[in-house]
C-alpha cells in the first residue's frame, strides 16, 4: 500500500552547520538554557543531544559551582555516546574527558557497579556514566544530600514516569525534593505511549524547556530529502509464502539494496511465532543462503537469492551474550555504508543506536508505544551521503474474520494509523496562530508560518501558553491514544463533536488545573494546528488556500467555526480506505460500533440540526437506529437521547 505520509525537506544544511563554539543549531539552543537548575531538552534522534549535554555539564562544572556530573542512559551501548570527546579544537573552552574507570556501561555485575557509583561520590572525579538501572540500585539507601551540587543527566527521559511503581520516577522526585542537585532531562519523544504522565504537572512546571522539532532537524539536513511512513498488512505469518502470490509479505517489502534495520515482533506480540531465533532464520532464508559467519566480527555473510550479491547481516536477536557483544562492538566501529547491509534486532537498536547509513526501518508487529515508533523511525533519519530518502514500514497482521483475535488486529490497525497521524504532526513545520480582527490590514502577513484566525481565543495563563508553545505534539499524542478518540476518528462521529465535545473533555482530564477559557484556547490550537498540518497550502494568484480532506478554504477567510467542521484526523483513514479491502473496513466499522462511547447531551444538541436536515431530506422519515450507516445510526441514538432528556425534564418540572 502507499505511504500514509510522504514528507519532503529543503536540505538547507542549517541543522548541521556549527557556530564559533562548535555547536550545531540544536546544541546552541540548548546551551542558552545552561543556567537552569532543571532543564528538559526535547529534540529528535541524531540532533546531537549527547554533545549538548557535554557543553551544559562542563559550563556547570567550571562556572556554576557544580562539583560532579552523573549521566544515566537506558542501555549500556548508549554509554559510548558519552565517551571522551574533543571540544576545544572546535572552539569550546574545555574537552569532555570522563575517567574510563567511571564509565559503568560495561559488562559486569550490578553490585560492583553500585559500589563504583558510591565510590565516585566520595572521589575527586567529576564525571560518571551509568545505566538507569545502576542509578536506581545505587539510590536505594543513599543519602540524597550526597547529590547536592551534582548534575544528574537522564538520557531517554521518557523512561521516567509519575506512576507510583516507576522507581526512576521516584528517584527523580526525591532528588528534586531533597537535594540542591541540577537535572538535565533529554528525550527524542517526551510522550510515553501510554496514559501515564512522565512528570506530574507541579514537577513539570519547574523545568525550563528547550524544544527542537523534527522539522527543524530534517529540513536542515544536507543529503536527506524525504521521509516516507507506510503500513503493509498481511495474513497468516509474515515470513510464510502467500499461496496466491508465491512470496511472503516480508519478501514483498524487503529491498536488499536498502540499508535496513528489521525489528522482529516481541515474543509477547500476536505476530510473533514465539521462536525468535527461528524468525531470524526465516528472514535469512528470504534473503538468501548463509555462506559463513566471520569469527572475529560475528557478521553473517549471506548470498542473495535475487542478485548473487554477498550481504553482510548482523543478528542482534541471539541469546549468547559474547556473540551479541562481538557484533555490537563491530557495529559501533562501522565507518562506511559497505560495512553492513542489514541488522536484525528485537529489543536493541532502537534508542541511541547510531547507524547513519540506515535507509529503511522495517518493523514487524504493531508497537504499543508511540515513543517506541518515533525512536525506531529515528534510526533511519540520520543524514548521510548514501541516501536522499528514508523509509519506515510497519508490517502488521490484517484483521481476519476467521481468526479469534479480530479485536486485537483491528485495534492494532487503528493504533498504527493514529501513530502515522501523530508522525505527520511531528514532522511538519510549526505554525503560529493569531486572532484576526476586523480592522486588520488584509495585506499584512507576519510570515508564511503565521496564520490569523477569526474568532480565535488566546490563552490567558502562563501554563496554557507553555502547553501551546512546547507541548502541543505531546498533547496530540495523548488525544490520539485516548480510547474514545480511537473510536471516533474514522469518520464515525461528526467533526463538530470531536472538536468541541470530545477534545476539550480529554484536555480537562489531562490538565485539570486549566480554566475553561484556557481549555478552549488550547483546544482551538490543537484543532487548528492539526487541520493545517493535515492539509496542503496552495497559492493561486495573490491568495493562499488550505486544501484538506474535503475542504478548500481561503486563508484570509478562516474562522474557528469553519475549522471546527473539519475532522482534524481524517486524512490517514481516507488513504487507508483506498488501500484495504471492503471486508477489512467492514470489520473495523463493526468493531467501532460495538465499542462506541456513550451519548452526551453536548453531542446530542450538536447533532440536532443534522437530524432536522436528515428528516427534511428524507421526506419526513427519521434516522433508523438499526441503519448500517454509522452516522445515521448515531443521529437516531441522539434522537432517542433527546426524547428521554425531554421526558425527564418534563417530569422534574411537574
Binned at pLDDT 50, 70 and 90, residue 259 comes out as very high
pLDDT at residue 463 above 90? no
Same domain, 68 and 177: yes
Same domain, 254 and 388: yes
DSSP assignment string, 178-243: H---EEEEEES--S-SSSS-SS-HHHHTTSEEEE--HHHHHHT-SS--EEEEEEEEESS-TTSBPT
Same domain, 205 and 224: no
pLDDT of residue 408: 66
Grid cell listed for 421:
497521524
Q: Are strands 551-554 and 543-548 parallel, antiparallel or unpaired?
A: antiparallel
Task: Decide if 586 is inside a domain.
Answer: no
The closest of 122, 165, 166 to 142, measured between CA atoms, is 122
pLDDT tens for each residue of 538-549: 777 777 777 665
Binned at pLDDT 50, 70 and 90, residue 62 comes out as very high
Highest-pLDDT range among 207-211, 397-401, 471-475: 207-211
pLDDT average, residue stretch 402-412: 64
Residue that is written with C-alpha cell 543513599 in the block:
142
pLDDT tens for each residue of 298-333: 999 999 988 899 999 999 888 787 888 888 888 888
Asked whether 102 and 116 are in contact (CB, 8 A), the reply is yes
Q: How large is the angle between the packed helices 503-510 and 516-533, nearest 10 degrees?
A: 120
Q: How large is the angle between the packed helices 516-533 and 472-481, nearest 10 degrees?
A: 90
Residue that is written with C-alpha cell 523545568 in the block:
207
pLDDT of residue 482: 79
Helices (H) and strands (E) in the chain, counts: 23, 20
Number of structural domains found in the chain: 4
Terminal Cα-to-Cα distance of the chain (whole angstroms): 61
pLDDT tens for each residue of 151-182: 999 998 877 655 556 778 888 889 999 999 99
Asked whether 97 and 84 are in contact (CB, 8 A), the reply is yes
Same domain, 466 and 604: no
Grid cell listed for 36:
537552569
Same domain, 570 and 609: no
How far is residue 228's CA from residue 391's CA, in Å, rounded to a whole number? 5
How far is residue 61's CA from residue 57's CA, in Å, rounded to a whole number? 6
Same domain, 391 and 480: no
Task: Decide if 188 is inside a domain.
Answer: yes
Binned at pLDDT 50, 70 and 90, residue 197 comes out as low
pLDDT of residue 443: 46
Same domain, 548 and 606: no
Quick one: DSSP state of residue 430? P
Same domain, 122 and 242: no
pLDDT of residue 445: 46
Same domain, 619 and 577: no
**CATH at 28:** 3.40.50.300
Same domain, 91 and 177: yes
Count of CB atoms within 10 A of residue 10's CB?
12
Residue that is written with C-alpha cell 452516522 in the block:
631
Residue that is last in its domain, among 194, 212, 230: 212
| Of residues 41 and 590, more confidently modeled | 41
Give long-range contacts, CB 8 A cutoff, 24+ apart: 333-339. Answer: 337/259, 337/384, 337/386, 339/312
How far is residue 557's CA from residue 553's CA, in Å, rounded to a whole number? 7
DSSP assignment string, 324-377: HHHHHHHHHT--SGGG-SEEEESSSSSSS---TT--EEEEES--S-HHHHHHHH
Same domain, 196 and 320: no
pLDDT tens for each residue of 3-21: 777 888 889 988 889 999 9
Binned at pLDDT 50, 70 and 90, residue 517 comes out as very high
pLDDT average, residue stretch 92-121: 90
Count of CB atoms within 10 A of residue 599's CB?
17
Same domain, 557 and 648: no
- Whole-model pTM: value is 0.76
How far is residue 537's CA from residue 92's CA, in Å, rounded to a whole number? 42
pLDDT average, residue stretch 412-426: 72
Domain boundaries, position 263: 220-397
Amino acid at each position: 500500500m502507499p505511504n500514509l505520509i510522504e514528507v519532503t525537506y529543503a536540505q538547507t544544511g542549517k541543522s548541521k552547520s556549527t557556530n564559533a563554539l562548535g555547536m550545531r543549531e540544536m546544541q546552541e539552543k540548548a546551551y542558552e538554557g545552561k543556567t537552569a537548575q532543571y532543564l528538559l531538552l526535547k529534540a529528535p534522534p541524531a540532533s546531537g543531544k549527547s554533545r549538548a549535554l557535554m557543553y551544559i555539564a562542563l559550563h556547570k562544572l567550571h562556572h556554576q559551582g557544580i562539583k560532579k556530573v552523573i549521566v544515566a542512559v537506558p542501555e549500556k551501548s548508549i554509554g559510548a555516546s558519552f565517551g571522551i570527546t574533543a571540544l576545544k579544537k572546535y572552539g569550546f573552552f574545555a574537552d569532555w574527558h570522563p575517567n574510563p574507570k567511571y564509565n559503568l556501561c560495561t559488562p559486569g555485575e550490578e553490585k560492583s557497579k553500585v559500589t563504583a557509583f558510591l565510590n565516585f561520590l566520595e572521589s575527586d572525579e567529576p564525571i560518571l556514566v551509568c545505566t538507569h538501572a545502576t542509578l536506581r540500585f545505587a539510590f536505594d539507601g543513599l543519602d540524597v544530600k550526597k547529590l547536592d551540587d551534582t548534575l544528574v543527566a537522564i538520557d531517554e527521559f521518557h523512561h521516567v514516569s509519575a506512576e507510583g511503581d516507576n522507581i526512576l520516577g521516584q528517584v527523580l522526585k526525591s532528588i528534586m525534593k531533597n537535594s540542591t542537585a541540577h537535572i538535565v532531562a533529554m528525550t527524542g519523544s517526551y510522550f510515553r505511549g501510554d496514559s501515564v504522565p512522565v512528570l506530574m504537572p507541579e514537577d513539570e512546571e519547574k523545568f525550563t524547556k528547550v524544544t527542537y522539532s523534527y522539522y527543524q532537524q530534517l529540513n536542515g539536513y544536507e543529503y536527506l530529502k524525504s521521509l516516507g511512513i507506510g503500513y503493509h498488512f498481511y495474513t497468516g505469518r509474515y515470513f510464510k509464502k502467500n499461496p496466491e502470490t508465491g512470496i511472503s509479505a516480508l519478501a514483498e517489502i524487503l529491498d536488499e539494496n536498502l540499508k535496513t534495520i528489521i525489528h522482529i515482533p516481541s515474543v509477547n506480540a500476536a505476530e510473533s511465532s514465539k521462536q525468535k531465533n527461528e524468525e531470524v532464520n526465516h528472514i535469512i532464508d528470504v534473503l538468501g543462503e548463509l555462506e559463513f559467519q566471520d569469527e572475529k566480527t560475528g557478521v553473517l555473510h549471506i548470498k542473495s537469492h535475487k542478485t548473487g550479491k554477498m550481504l553482510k547481516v548482523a543478528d542482534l536477536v541471539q541469546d549468547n551474550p559474547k556473540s551479541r557483544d562481538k557484533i555490537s562492538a563491530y557495529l559501533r566501529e562501522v565507518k562506511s555504508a559497505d560495512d553492513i547491509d542489514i541488522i536484525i534486532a528485537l529489543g536493541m537498536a532502537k534508542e541511541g543506536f547510531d547507524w547513519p547509513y540506515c535507509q529503511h526501518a522495517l518493523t514487524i508487529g504493531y508497537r504499543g508505544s508511540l515513543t517506541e515508533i518515533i525512536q525506531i523511525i529515528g534510526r533511519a533519519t540520520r543524514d548521510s551521503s548514501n541516501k536522499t530518502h528514508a523509509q519506515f514500514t510497519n508490517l502488521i497482521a490484517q484483521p481476519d474474520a476467521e481468526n479469534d483475535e479480530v479485536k486485537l488486529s483491528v485495534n492494532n490497525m487503528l493504533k498504527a494509523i493514529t501513530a502515522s497521524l501523530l508522525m505527520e504532526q511531528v514532522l511538519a513545520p510549526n505554525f503560529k496562530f493569531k486572532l484576526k480582527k476586523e480592522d486588520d490590514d488584509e495585506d499584512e502577513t507576519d510570515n508564511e508560518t503565521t496564520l490569523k484566525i477569526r474568532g480565535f481565543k488566546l490563552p490567558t495563563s502562563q501554563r496554557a501558553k507553555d502547553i501551546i508553545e512546547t507541548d502541543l505534539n505531546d498533547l496530540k499524542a495523548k488525544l490520539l491514544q485516548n480510547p474514545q478518540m480511537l473510536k471516533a476518528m474514522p469518520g464515525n462521529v461528526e467533526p463538530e463533536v470531536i472538536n468541541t465535545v470530545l477534545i476539550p473533555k480529554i484536555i480537562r482530564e489531562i490538565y485539570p488545573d486549566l480554566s475553561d477559557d484556557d481549555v478552549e484556547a488550547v483546544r482551538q490550537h490543537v484543532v487548528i494546528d492539526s487541520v493545517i498540518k493535515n492539509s496542503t497550502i496552495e497559492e493561486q494568484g495573490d491568495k493562499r488556500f488550505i486544501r484538506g480532506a474535503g475542504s478548500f478554504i481561503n486563508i484570509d477567510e478562516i474562522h474557528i467555526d469553519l475549522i471546527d467542521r473539519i475532522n482534524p484526523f481524517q486524512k490517514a483513514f481516507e488513504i487507508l480506505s483506498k488501500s484495504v479491502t471492503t471486508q477489512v473496513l467492514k470489520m473495523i466499522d463493526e468493531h467501532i460500533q460495538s465499542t462506541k462511547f456513550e451519548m452526551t447531551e453536548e453531542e446530542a444538541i450538536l447533532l440536532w440540526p443534522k437530524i432536522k436536515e436528515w428528516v427534511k431530506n428524507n421526506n419526513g422519515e427519521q434516522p433508523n437506529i438499526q441503519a448500517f450507516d454509522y452516522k445515521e445510526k448515531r443521529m437516531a441514538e441522539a434522537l432517542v437521547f433527546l426524547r428521554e432528556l425531554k421526558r425527564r425534564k418534563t417530569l422534574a418540572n411537574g
